[in-house]
Amino acid sequence: MSDYLTIANRAYPSRLFMGTGGYPNHQVLLDSLAAAEPALVTVSIRRISLDPYSGSLIDLLGNHYTLLPNTAGCSTVKDAVLTARLAREALATDLIKLELIGDRETLYPDVEHLLQATDELVADGFTVLPYCNEDPVTCRKLADRGAAAVMPLGSPIGSGLGIVNPFAIERIVATSSVPVILDAGIGTASDAAFAMELGCDGVLLNTAIAKARDPARMAGAMKGAVTAGRAARLAGRIPKRTHGEPSSPELGLIGG
């Protein structure tokens, strides 16, 4: 039975999103994408050429993957909105991953600017997926402003720390009216599986694959982890106990 991820009335067969930065070369990126089969592939509009020419990232990916342009590097509402509009014109998509960084050391979002930019972009017809902090209140406000999904961080971008505040992520999942995509901080496959077990609808990652010793193999591991974590969430884990409980009946034991 299919278990598609739906965002803004668009259905995706995968719940894994991948970034495209930091790979040794384009071939390693392509091999990793082929292994992961992600739903969406993010591209930083400020860091790539938008002209489709032979060998460009847009040319390599555009016909094979659904692109999710992002506003990485933006720190003002004006810059983020302008970047989103450039992406829409160049790539013919209303999808935008909204990033507005408020602190250059931790790369945490600027919540005030994020809310303002979401208002402007939603009013302008964009399907907005905002990268945000792991705060249920912020996530609720973004959804109320029309965000198609919320993308709380697990830990700082590129840190590999995994999910440092699982209780907050669980709370976001429990109270969100839109899909929750865990974004940032994933270090290995078990982190991705844990995000799905917490109830996230998907996982976005980049560095964990791009900087792995074998990126394509790690990409395949992430694909399997997201699938396994989702299946475990739907199956339902057993309760945690402070004592042992035998799985076999104790009646009829020899010498009993």
- Res. 248: pLDDT tops 80: no
pLDDT tens column, 202-236: 999 999 999 999 999 999 999 999 999 999 999 99
Least confident of 23-27, 173-177, 206-210: 23-27
Q: What is the 3-state secondary structure (H, E, C) of 113-156?
A: HHHHHHHHHHHCCCEEEEEECCCHHHHHHHHHCCCCCEEEECCC
Return the structure tokens found at 145: 């402003």
pLDDT band, residue 241 (cuts 50/70/90): confident
User: DSSP code of 243?
Assistant: S
Is the pLDDT assigned to residue 49 strictly greater than 70?
Answer: no
Among 210, 214, 219, smallest CA distance to 189 is for 219
Scan for tokens 């998509």, then name that residue: 93
Q: Judge whether 97 counts as a catalytic residue.
A: yes
Give the pLDDT score at 255.
Answer: 60
CA trace torsion 184, 83, 69, 206 (10° rounding): -30
| Interatomic CA distance for residues 121 and 129, integer angstroms | 10
The total number of residues written for the chain in this structure: 256
Per-residue pLDDT averaged across 174-194, rounded?
96
Closest to 152 measured CA to CA, from 131, 175, 138: 131
Express as a percent the part of the chain with pLDDT over 90.
Answer: 75
Mean pLDDT along residues 129-142: 96
Q: Any idea where the domains of the chain sit in the sequence?
A: 14-235
Query: Which among 78, 97, 141, 211 is annotated as catalytic?
Result: 97
For 85-126, the pLDDT digits (tens) are 999 998 889 999 999 998 888 888 999 999 999 999 999 999
Whole-number Å distance between alpha carbons of 163 and 32: 23
Report which of residues 65 and 173 the model is more confident about. 173
Q: From 204, 96, 18, 206, select the one nearest 195 (Cα to Cα).
A: 204
* pLDDT at residue 52 tops 90: no
- Tell me the fold of 14-235: TIM Barrel (3.20.20)
| Confidence at residue 249, expressed as pLDDT on a 0 to 100 scale | 66
